[in-house]
């Protein structure tokens, strides 16, 4: 498969999943709010889905920017940022000692 075909298949699956979720939420909500039309509920569902997608993209961008900041400020690994110090093996390597591995 070519790359463009793979992207189209992924986009189609994504749109189908969003449509299914909107339909699953819109139909029970219509029973709870009988005065609102199905079109309005679907519109609200699509708007909510777009809002969630925008929040996910902004969150991913902020996370990546924060990771880049850690690396630019001298961090070794962004995942180790959440712990109190550097990995023990890295501390030993920086001190010029060999890393002792217990293989028992």
Instruction: Delimit the domains of the chain by residue range.
Output: 3-94
> Would you write out the chain's pLDDT as a tens digit for each of its 104 residues?
566 788 889 889 988 988 888 778 877 887 888 888 878 877 887 888 889 889 999 999 999 998 888 888 877 777 766 666 777 777 777 777 765 566 55
Q: What pLDDT is recorded for position 103?
A: 52
Q: What is the pTM of this model?
A: 0.57
3-state helix, strand and coil shares in percent for the chain, rounded to the nearest 5:
75, 0, 25
Cβ 74 vs Cβ 63: under 8 Å: no
DSSP state of 99: P
Q: What pLDDT is recorded for position 31?
A: 81
């Amino acid at each position: 498969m070519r790359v463009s075909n793979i992207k189209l298949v992924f986009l189609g699956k994504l749109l189908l999943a969003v449509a299914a979720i909107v339909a699953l939420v819109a139909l029970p909500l219509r029973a709870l709010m009988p005065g609102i039309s199905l079109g309005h509920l679907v519109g609200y569902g699509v708007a909510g889905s777009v809002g969630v997608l925008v929040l996910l993209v902004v969150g991913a961008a902020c996370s990546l920017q924060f990771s880049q900041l850690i690396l630019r400020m001298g961090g070794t690994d962004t995942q180790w940022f959440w712990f109190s110090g550097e990995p023990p093996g890295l501390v030993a390597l920086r001190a010029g000692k060999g890393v002792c591995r217990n293989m028992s």
